[in-house]
Amino acid sequence: MNNISGPIAVFDSGYGGLTVLEELRKKLPNNDFIYLGDNARAPYGTRSFDIVYEYTLEAVKELFSMGAHLVILACNTASAKALRTIQQKDLPNIDSNKRVLGVIRPSVEYVAEITKTAKVGVLGTTGTVQSLSYPLELKKQSSNIEVYQEACPMWVPLVENGESNKAGTDYFVKQHIEKLLQLNSDIDTVILGCTHYPMLMDKIKLYTPEHINILSQGSIVANSLVDYLQRHPEIDKRCTRGGSVQYYTTENADKFKQTAGFFLKQDIEVTQINLFQ
């Protein structure tokens, strides 16, 4: 088992993880990747702990069976609700040589370094906000950081339905930015704690004062993975290098191709798979 090599897998409930995949490919252009979006069951953000864990574990097992030995949960909701159980309880039984990593830890490490006012805003799904993962993890980085959260339940459905650039979306973006910033006028850093949200970046910037730093996770996660692979050469040497990406979705392949192609600005091949029997 130890010597088996394969692509790095990137998983999200839907299209959001593509914002992370893009940055991973920039930093690791020679690596092979598999992307899986569970679009048929997105959004995850309003689902219970048990369901998010169950769906995420199904996806991780599927990605392992496709040959991946390293899975990045490019989904905050899955990272908040499923990652720890998968790492601690499931991986030792599945294959202790395989790894599953999330997006929250690298994000909070970076945010803690750059905030000057120590007032940080988090925009996320209802599930991520209710899990309190960001406040808890940020407090571990620095006990004087104050964290203000706002759940944006409409944002993922808008992205999943191809509405990111439509005029009606402005209402929902403006509403949540204003609510977040009303919580404390000294917030200087806002983390987009959902990988779908960078797809709304143009509109988010429109309603956020310029002095506030808005952070997408893609490049933060990519830098963190490069660092992780340097520190774990035994994992790195099992990553195949051919510069390829295979895209999978649990929804209709043509639909994924159309929406994902819009964000990736390229034509892609997509395969539909079933995670549930």
- Active-site positions read 75, 194
Burial of 226 (0-12, 13-18, 19+ CB in 10 A): middle
**Among the listed residues 31, 39, 125, 131, the single contact to ligand DGL using CB under 6 A:** 125
Across the beta sheet with 245-249, what order do the strands follow?
A: 99-101, 70-73, 8-12, 33-37, 245-249, 270-272
Q: Using CB positions, name the residue nearest to ligand DGL.
A: 45
Q: How far is the CB of 194 from ligand DGL (least distance, A)?
A: 4
Does 137 participate in binding ligand DGL (rule CB under 6 A)? no
Spatial separation of the C-alpha atoms in residues 192 and 189, rounded to whole Å = 10
DSSP H or E stretch at residue 243: none
Interface with ligand DGL (CB under 6 A), residue from 169, 195, 249, 259: 195
Beta strand 245-249 pairing with 270-272: parallel
Distance CA 15, CA 37 (A): 6
Is residue 208 within the footprint of ligand DGL (CB under 6 A)?
Answer: no
Q: Is 218 near ligand DGL (CB under 6 A)?
A: no
Task: Establish if 77 lies at the interface with ligand DGL (CB under 6 A).
Answer: yes
Span 14-33, contacts to ligand DGL by CB under 6 A: 14, 16
Q: What are phi and psi of 11, to 5 degrees?
A: -120, 140
* 151 in contact with ligand DGL (CB under 6 A): no
Residues that bind ligand DGL (CB under 6 A): 12-14, 16, 42-45, 75-77, 125, 128, 156, 194-196
